[in-house]
Amino acid sequence: MSDDEFYRIKRLPPYVIAEVNGMRAAARAAGEDIIDLGMGNPDLPPPPHVLDKLIEVTKKPDAHGYSQSW
């Protein structure tokens, strides 16, 4: 990486998710009761019927491509 590329990258704004994660961690460390409504953090496994359907669909040869864009 050239020096110019390095400095261009350093000028990018902070990643917003990292900023939110830092704010949440600081609030928790300060003893605040935080309810995380963020997506992608399930605390339970998917129901068995969902897993069964995923397995079924992954075995279909036509299920492995990009979706249609409208």
Tell me the domain boundaries of the chain.
3-63
Which one has a higher pLDDT value, 28 or 3? Answer: 28
pLDDT-based confidence at residue 4 (cuts at 50, 70, 90): confident
Residues 6 or more apart from 68 whose CB is under 8 A from it?
none
pLDDT reading at 6 higher than 90: no
pTM: 0.44
pLDDT in tens, 15-54: 888 898 999 999 999 999 988 877 776 778 899 999 999 9
Pairwise CA distance, residues 51 & 53, whole Å: 5
Pairwise CA distance, residues 33 & 35, whole Å: 7
